[in-house]
Structure 1
Amino acid sequence: MDITMIEAAAARLAGHARRTPLLSSPFLDAVAGRRVLVKPECLQHTGSFKFRGAWSALTALPAGTRGVIAFSSGNHAQGVAHAARRLGLAAVIVMPSDAPALKIDNTRAFGAEVVLYDRVEESREEIGARIAAERGLVLVKPYDEPQVIAGQGTIGLEIAEDCARLGIAAADVLVPCGGGGMTAGIALALQARAPGLRVRPCEPEGFDDAARSLVAGRRVANAQAAGSICDAIVTAMPGELTFPVMARLCGPGIAVSDDEALAAMRAAALRLKILAEPGGAVALAAALSHPVAFEPDRPVIAVVSGGNADPAMIARALAG
């Protein structure tokens, strides 16, 4: 994985993925006590950044591929399903039974076959590997896949370009982190194109495996598999491929509470007019609720990674 792969992914994504802007609001700057810029990947196709990695991976498959299988709580599922349909490939998606209904319904609407599982009692990796072998499908992992990481890294290329235009040479880039595909991809892109921008992984409290792994210097697991409203970024531990990149390039992680994620959702809706899901809002939550985590006067760039929240969750956030 290197900048060459990310640039190649960007070329394949050109004309297919949306180039999301950097948004700002003086109200958010006042709350955070510093300049805050937001990268709204909730505006990406399928409502999250995952379309980038899915398109990158599927367009790199060898000719004659019969179809693909993926496992996901929803956003990778939708990204793979949508990319597969546009490319004329069959898709099977293994999803946890407690995933938001909106994500399950959307994945089916994109034409994929959905296989539900119990995320506490069953292993999605084992289920995915078995079905892939039985049907001759290519497994597209949600984060521990080089072409997926390269696709997510295109976000970093865009951030670097926009920061150069804005005259920002140094900043913390806050990234919602599950298995680390987007975190690692953005970090690789920024290392090559804007080395003064430092990536900081952001996670829910109690599921901050990336932050704790960075402190320990090795991959460590979460104590539980579920229990946060930030379902999109709840993973067991950082990926085998992604963690070495994060350990080499990322700054310390930041953990936010569910209430802070909801407050960030509300701020995004009221001040930027964008909808974020809880997991997608954790980076903005870190910017707004954890000022001591950053150097004085250092700007922050927060990626809002997804906006696929159920109406009830949106209402809960807006209620304050």
Structure 2
Amino acid sequence: MLDVDDVRAARERVRETSRWTPLEYSHTFSEMTGANVHLKLETFQRTGAFKIRGATNRIATLSDEERTAGVVTASAGNHAQGVALAASRAGVDSKIVMPEHAPIAKVKATRSYGGEVVLYGVDYSEAAERAHEIEHEEGRTYVHAFDDPAIMAGQGTIGLEIVDDLPEVDTVVVPIGGGGLISGIATALKGFDSDIRVIGVQAEGASSVAESLQKGEIYERESVDTIADGIATRRVGDLTFDVIDERVDEVVTVDDSEIAIALTYLLERSKTLVEGAGAVPLAALLNGRFEYDEDETIVPCLCGGNIDLNTLTTVIMRGLVETGRYVRLKTVLKDRPGALEDLIDVIAAQQANIYAIQHDRTSRDIGMNAAEVELDLETRGPEHVAELVAGMEERGYEVELLS
């Protein structure tokens, strides 16, 4: 089993390649939760995520023969970039298999770091199958994304940084995909102080670890479905599961709406851009997925910031909808001059901002003398939405909320 000395050795190997990332106190989230919240900003890591740590440590352990043959791996994006950069810095050829629908930004970044990208499969598991085929066909060394002691030890250097910067930490909250990150961090933290609590968080649509712990054995999902692509794995690793079972205190889940809201809060209130996987620890804290004491010192690990811009747009909009900041509604007007202007006056009186209007006289769901109107509105929150709807209904409009 991995131990803290492995993590300390890894810190020496990765020191020149990875960055010691900031640990910053958050007034906003401390006030929102009542806890003493410090954010571990691994979003500022080289390649934009923690994966460079484990990849650098693993490649540093290659034999001369393995270095000559090159490496291969599978990844949804962040591990791909870590392996590509670590391999390039070590003068090792790398081939990276990524799912066909991996975020474009991550594919481009991986290529820019010197990795040869092969797009294959619908998710990480299928990409990994192809990577193993390449391993045997070309004699390359497979660099596992999480189920490897050297990978786990490299990721665990985050835990050493946390206790060096904040020795009084009580709880550290970590996202879980395949389990390499939390295995390393839990090993480092428990090696420093066994009383430090480690909470793992998964997306509901990829909750293999939570289900495995409940069953007492590794459970593989048939599919995954979450905006947190960085932790969208169908199963936990064999090695990581044992470490999680022994050293992680609790594993909880959050849904995509909660992830979107946390991501939006981080962007708006902390000016911090994270990907979906990076937002899950904060989502768990904000939604009370685990118990904690008032003024408890809690560190959510924001594990990465490599989010595709198209995905970011969707997630922000979802976050605005969930927090009542953006609403789409439908109503029916009499088809006469001035009817639309009257509706706009009502909305203006409620101080909602109109983004878009769709006016349709041809809908089969309305009378011949009516027009259906859909409006996209900027609002100030749930109470404002309720006031807006009430104001429209007082003026005789029937209102249907579409989002």
Same-fold status (TM-score > 0.5) = yes
Greater percentage in strand: 2
Counterpart amino acid of 1:88?
Answer: G
Cα deviation, 1:126-158, whole Å, max 9, x if unaligned, reads 311221122121100000011100100101111
Cα deviation, 1:260-319, whole Å, max 9, x if unaligned, reads 1111112222232221001111011111122x5213223321001110001123333444
For 1:159, the equivalent position in structure 2 comes to 162
Matches within 5 A, 1:95-114: 95-114=98-117
For 2:55, the equivalent position in structure 1 comes to 54
- In structure 1, list runs of 5 or more residues that go unmatched: none
Question: Partners in 2 of 1:299 and 1:119 — Cα distance?
Answer: 40
- Contact (CA 8 Å) 1:143, 1:149: kept in 2 or not? yes
For 2:251, the equivalent position in structure 1 comes to 253
Give the structure, 1 or 2, with the largest relative contact order (CA under 8 Å, sep 6 or more).
1
Cα deviation, 1:194-235, whole Å, max 9, x if unaligned, reads 2221111111113111122222222112242x3211111011
3-state DSSP class of the match of 2:220?
coil
For 1:203, the equivalent position in structure 2 comes to 202
For 1:127, the equivalent position in structure 2 comes to 130
- Contact (CA 8 Å) 1:179, 1:238: kept in 2 or not? yes
Cα deviation, 1:160-193, whole Å, max 9, x if unaligned, reads 11221xx33xx22110100000110011111111
For 1:295, the equivalent position in structure 2 comes to 292
For 1:193, the equivalent position in structure 2 comes to 192
For 1:115, the equivalent position in structure 2 comes to 118
For 1:269, the equivalent position in structure 2 comes to 267
Question: Partners in 2 of 1:174 and 1:238 — Cα distance?
Answer: 18
For 2:46, the equivalent position in structure 1 comes to 45
- Contact (CA 8 Å) 1:143, 1:182: kept in 2 or not? yes
Counterpart amino acid of 1:58?
Answer: I
For 2:219, the equivalent position in structure 1 comes to 220
Structure 1 position 36, deviation (Å): 1.4
- Among candidates 80, 90, 95, match of residue 87 of structure 1: 90
1:73 matches 2:76: yes
- Among candidates 314, 317, 325, match of residue 316 of structure 1: 314
Judged with a 3 Å threshold, the aligned counterparts in structure 2 of structure 1 residues 240 and 18 are, in CA distance, closer, same or farther, namely same
- Contact (CA 8 Å) 1:24, 1:272: kept in 2 or not? no
- Contact (CA 8 Å) 2:125, 2:233: kept in 1 or not? no
Structure 1 position 244, deviation (Å): 0.6
3-state DSSP class of the match of 2:40?
strand
Judged with a 3 Å threshold, the aligned counterparts in structure 2 of structure 1 residues 316 and 33 are, in CA distance, closer, same or farther, namely farther
Counterpart amino acid of 2:307?
Answer: A
Cα deviation, 1:26-72, whole Å, max 9, x if unaligned, reads 11112223221111111111000000000010111112322110100
Counterpart amino acid of 1:285?
Answer: A
Question: Partners in 2 of 1:172 and 1:288 — Cα distance?
Answer: 14
Aligned length: 314
Structure 1 position 122, deviation (Å): 7.2
For 2:21, the equivalent position in structure 1 comes to 20
Question: Partners in 2 of 1:14 and 1:178 — Cα distance?
Answer: 25
Structure 1 position 94, deviation (Å): 0.6
Question: Partners in 1 of 2:13 and 2:285 — Cα distance?
Answer: 32
3-state DSSP class of the match of 1:253?
strand
Aligned-CA RMSD value: 1.6
- In structure 2, list runs of 5 or more residues that go unmatched: 321-403
3-state DSSP class of the match of 2:225?
coil
